[in-house]
Amino acid sequence: MEWVVTLPRWPPAKEDLARLIDADGGRDEAENSYYEAFADPDFVRVETAQRRFCGQYLRRLRRRAERAGRASASSG
């Protein structure tokens, strides 16, 4: 499950993208479509769920490593 670390750990920078679009007057269709995708409620829900999963998974891995370290230290 190494793909988990490739998931974003923070929400997309919608405000920065909105400023970029406003700076050129919204003439760039690619920028406009990116912003529309980031502002889509379905995208936001999926992206938020992915970030939560990533955080939970990484916390679980850290806890397992800590427990394994304590178990080996107490047995050695």
Task: Give the pLDDT confidence score for residue 76 in this predicted structure.
Answer: 63
Classify residue 53: in a domain, yes or no: yes
Q: Taking a C-beta distance cutoff of 8 angstroms, is the pair 10, 50 a contact? A: no
28 torsion bin: left (phi>0), alpha (psi -120 to 50), beta (else): beta
The residue range of the domain holding 40 is: 9-75
Number of structural domains found in the chain: 1
Say whether 44 sits in a helix, a strand or coil: helix
Task: Walk along the chain (76 residues) and give the pLDDT tens digit of each residue.
Answer: 677 777 666 676 777 777 877 888 878 888 888 888 878 889 889 888 888 888 898 899 999 999 998 888 877 6
- Domain assignment of residue 21, yes or no: yes
> Domain for residue 4, yes or no?
no
42 inside domain:
yes
In a domain, 1, yes or no: no
